[in-house]
Amino acid sequence: MARVTVEDCVDKVENRFELVLLAGHRARMIASGSPLTVARDNDKNPVVALREIADETVHPDDLKEDLIHSLQKYVEVDEPEQDLQLLAEDSAEEDNGVAFDRMSEEDLLRGLENMVPPDKQDDF
C-alpha cells in the first residue's frame, strides 16, 4: 500500500487494523461497481479506497456500518409489540368471523385428564 496514503488516513481512523478493514471493504465495493468519489489516477482499488478515506469523501463510520451489515447473516428486525397485536387482531378478523377459544395450558391438561381412553381392540 502507499505509505503516504496510510499516514494520511491515520488521522481519520486511529486504529490501523480498523483502517485496513475499512479500506479493504471499500476496495471490494469499488471492485463490485460502486462509484468512485475521487479520481482514480491509475491507482488500484485499495489505494483509491485509502485516498477516499484520507480526503473524507467517504465517512469511516458509514463504511463501518456497511461492513458490519455485510457480515451479518441474520438481521433482526425490531417490531413493536403493538404492531404484533394489531396483526393478530387482523388475522382473527380475516378468519371469516370464526372465533377461537383461548385455552390456558392448565385447562388443556385438565381436559386431557378427564378423557377416557378407548377400549383396546385386537386387530390381529
How is the chain classified by DSSP, letter by letter? --HHHHHHHTTT---HHHHHHHHHHHHHHHHTTPPPSS--TT--HHHHHHHHHHTTSS-HHHHHHHHHHHH-SSPPPP--HHHHHHHHHHHHHTTTTPPPP---HHHHHHHHHHPPPPPP----
Write the CB contacts of 46 (distance below 8 Å, at least 6 apart in sequence): 1, 23, 24, 27
Instruction: Tell me the per-residue pLDDT of 55-76, one tens digit each, with 9 for 90 and over.
Output: 889 999 999 999 988 888 876 7
Reading the chain (124 residues) residue by residue, the pLDDT tens digits are 456 677 888 888 888 899 999 999 999 999 999 999 998 888 899 999 999 999 889 999 999 999 988 888 876 776 666 555 555 665 555 555 555 567 778 887 887 777 766 666 656 5
Question: Taking the complete model, does pTM exceed 0.75, yes or no?
Answer: no
Write the CB contacts of 122 (distance below 8 Å, at least 6 apart in sequence): none
User: Which three cell numbers, joined as nine digits, stand for 92?
Assistant: 382473527
